[in-house]
Amino acid sequence: MKLQEKMDTYKEQMQAQAPKEALDIMQSATKELGASRMLEDAIKIGDKAPGFSLENTSNTLVTMDSLLSQGPLVLAFFRGKW
């Protein structure tokens, strides 16, 4: 099964099981995101990432340049609340 088919199946199952209020909130948030033009400003495949510095899990500041000096760098984004 292709990824899009899996996503479509998941969406159908979620819509059948989730409370209407939750679905309404998700639909509203999706519309707001589309209207915000945030997607047009987002980094796209092939774009160069802007330099950054962030704290790691040990609260040590790490820069993109210091990581790149060690080899290729993969950026992964996770959605969630910690």
pLDDT tens digits, one per residue of 8-19? 999 999 999 999
pLDDT band at 71 (very low <50, low <70, confident <90, very high): very high
Model pTM score: 0.47
Q: Coil, strand or helix: which one is 68?
A: helix
What letter represents residue 75's amino acid?
L
Cα distances from 45 to residues 21, 23, 48, 75, 78, in angstroms, run 35, 30, 9, 12, 17
pLDDT at residue number 18: 94
Condensed to tens digits (0 to 9), the pLDDT of residues 23-66 reads 999 999 989 988 988 888 888 888 888 899 999 899 999 999 99
Q: How many C-beta atoms surround the C-beta of residue 68 within 10 A?
A: 12
